Amino acid sequence: ELKVEQNPLFLSMQEGKNYTIYCNYSTTSDRLYWYRQDPGKSLESLFVLLSNGAVKQEGRLMASLDTKARLSTLHITAAVHDLSATYFCAVAYSGGGADGLTFGKGTHLIIQP
């Protein structure tokens, strides 16, 4: 059974600070996704990571993947209030198809002015 663990689950930080969210998963996978969810809203795709060493950046967010360690990180640089949200990582089985995703519990991020 594929398990996905995120930490921390809750994070309160000040604007301007840097922080990293960690996502560990239990079995081999060829796809890892990061999503953002605002309160009462749907899930918005942020990043798709497909290979070992993959790094993607969008604005103040940067995601990386280490398939050997089964670890992905989402790094926040110089946080701003607009980044307050819940962030999920999700992993697909290495089936080659569009398998259902297994999600972590999410990291509830609050960025205070």
Partner 1 sequence: DAGVIQSPRHEVTEMGQEVTLRCKPISGHDYLFWYRQTMMRGLELLIYFNNNVPIDDSGMPEDRFSAKMPNASFSTLKIQPSEPRDSAVYFCASSLLVRVREGYTFGSGTRLTVV
Output the CA–CA distances (angstroms, integers) from residue 82 to 53, 68, 92, in the order listed: 28, 33, 29
Q: Which stretch binds partner 1 (CB under 8 A): 13-21, 62-70, 77-85, 96-104?
A: 96-104
**Is residue 41 near partner 1 by the rule CB under 8 A?**
yes
**Is residue 22 near partner 1 by the rule CB under 8 A?**
no
**Is residue 50 near partner 1 by the rule CB under 8 A?**
yes
CA distance 51 to 6: 20
Q: Given the complex with partner 1, which of 8 and 16 has the nearer CB atom?
A: 8
**Is residue 42 near partner 1 by the rule CB under 8 A?**
yes
Q: Given the complex with partner 1, which of 25 and 35 has the nearer CB atom?
A: 35
